Amino acid sequence: MHVPSVKGRPPRDVAVAYGENPDTCPVRCWLAWKEAAGLTAGPAFLPVDQKGRLGTQRPGPDGCRLAITRAAERAGLDVKLTGHSARRGLVSTGRKRGKRAEKLRKQGGWAANSPVIWEYVDEGERWEDTATEGIGR
């Protein structure tokens, strides 16, 4: 997937693998959206108005937040999600599944010296080899 320059970061290409669950697989969801929207070039995501009409310009940060929030509500999730939740979730879930922090950093587009990514890595590793594990037997 090509990620254009955002917030002064250089553009990059990242690999996105098929997910284990077909219902939540990012590749299958993207292919279905691409076909349904008739996309052949341009931004991956476009706004859809209240009447179901597809816009022509990529959504802004608030549009992304609204789309994520509405999707969570439709899924019955009782959580507050933001546009940044997907990036954070990539790291915390990736670490829980044993993915290397450096791979996650590159995928999410964080700078090598970003302190934020390490907070997310710590969150993903919280229950891994805890200091109290095995004590009290």
Q: Give the DSSP letter string of 64-124.
A: HHHHHHHHHHHTT--S---TTHHHHHHHHHHHHTT--HHHHHHHHT--TT-HHHHHHHHHH
pLDDT for 67-120, tens place per residue?
Answer: 888 888 888 888 777 767 788 888 888 888 889 999 999 888 888 888 988 888
pLDDT for 13-63, tens place per residue?
Answer: 888 889 888 888 889 998 998 998 888 888 888 888 888 888 888 887 788
**Is residue 72 in a domain?**
no
**Is residue 8 in a domain?**
yes
**Is residue 91 in a domain?**
no
**Is residue 62 in a domain?**
no
Q: Any idea how long the chain is?
A: 137
Predicted structure pTM score = 0.65
**Is residue 136 in a domain?**
no
In the structure, how many helices (H) and strands (E) does the chain have? Answer: 5, 2
Q: How many separate domains does the chain show?
A: 1
Q: Range of 31's domain?
A: 1-44
**Is residue 15 in a domain?**
yes
